[in-house]
Amino acid sequence: MTEKSAAELVADAKTRINEVTPAEAMQMHAADPGIIYLDVREPMEWNLGRIPGALFIPRGNLETRVEATIPRNKKVIIYCAHGNRSALAADTMQEMGYTDVASMSQGFVGWVDAGGEVDG
């Protein structure tokens, strides 16, 4: 088996998933308020601020908790701090049968930089 770095794993995942920018995520949510924002950061990061209405499942708990929380037919935009963990999470959710997931490039940092609303 070929060894891969974390950066290579993220790059591979990004070839298999959809990515949206924070601005696109804002527009999509405005057009369809039923879209789910899924925050996969760690609890300390979540406590510092989050997208209003986002669901919280840390990346390390995703596989064991997502099925009980989010139906497979829902549109989900996943975010982390910078867009790497969310890419891995989107890849995993697709493998689990979720058909309409996207990773938010630039993550929560990009969201804040784009003027997105923040809770917390």
Q: For residue 108, which of 70, 30, 54 has the smallest C-alpha distance?
A: 54
Q: If you search the block for the tokens 């890849």, which residue do you land on?
A: 91
pLDDT in tens, 5-37: 999 999 999 999 999 999 999 999 899 989 999
pLDDT confidence bin for 65, thresholds 50/70/90: very high
Domains parsed from the chain with CATH numbers: 6-113 (3.40.250.10)
pTM given for the model: 0.95
Averaged confidence pLDDT in the chain: 96
pLDDT at 1: 83
pLDDT for residue 82: 97
Q: Quote the radius of gyration of the chain (alpha carbons, Å).
A: 13
How far apart, in whole angstroms, are the C-alpha atoms of residue 69 and residue 14? 24
